Amino acid sequence: MRCCVLVPAFQAEASVADVVRALAKELDGMPIFVIDDGSHDRTAACAEEAGAVVLRHERNRGKGAALHTGFVRAAKEAFDAALTVDADGQHPADQARALHDAVADRGALVLGVRDLVRDGAPRKNQLSNRISNYFLSKFSGRSLQDTQCGLRRYPVRETLALSGRASGYAFEAEIILRAVAAGVSVVEVPVRVHYPPEHERVTHFDSVKDPARIVATVVRALFDIHVGAR
């Protein structure tokens, strides 16, 4: 299986270089693409200096759009799968390796599953994740333990074929729903994540607005799926 790493990044100059270096060391030089989603700081420069290939958006378009740009590049270079890792340092490199190695099926969508209580996630994050898990499980018809974790392994061609439409954080939930409906194997793997002290955290996820957007996106995706099945 040919695999690359995609790191969507926005205003991540403080952390992205360390993330790239740790991944390169742990993953034996696996190609790393950082998608700089319209940052105004030194995100792109820091990523390049650390050894990543940088793909740039001129303006901020959202995490889903950044991932799509990465998948298109991965497909162009004939990668079978793409590991996705957040740029904020939340996902330790050894956990990316563990997720990569956990499932032999190259066509599977492999989801990292966090223990948010154990790993010290803020309560608002725990609540928003439970809400998303509930609706995704209900709408997909299968139990899903963590629908918001950004540490994943995507099958590149299959993911592009699902035609996800969301440009923001809702993209990750939408792809799960579309994958289940399309019969793509979805496998959940426990992972450990790192949450720094609250005063050090940098996040662009709105724990109130983004879960609402996720639910709205899922409802639209359900409509698309059922209309397409007629």
The 10s digit of each residue's pLDDT in 168-223 is: 888 999 999 999 999 999 999 999 999 876 544 555 556 556 666 776 776 677 66
Q: Tell me which fold the domain 3-229 belongs to.
A: Spore Coat Polysaccharide Biosynthesis Protein SpsA; Chain A (3.90.550)
Q: Where are the alpha helices (DSSP H) in the chain?
A: 16-26, 43-49, 63-76, 93-102, 123-140, 156-161, 170-182, 209-229
Which pLDDT score is estimated for 199? 43
Domain limits of the chain? 3-229
Question: Per-residue pLDDT tens for 141-175?
Answer: 999 999 999 999 999 999 999 999 888 888 999 99
pLDDT at 90 over 90: yes
Is pTM beyond 0.85? Reply is yes
Which pLDDT score is estimated for 224? 73
pLDDT at 230 over 60: no
Pairwise CA distance, residues 214 & 89, whole Å: 23
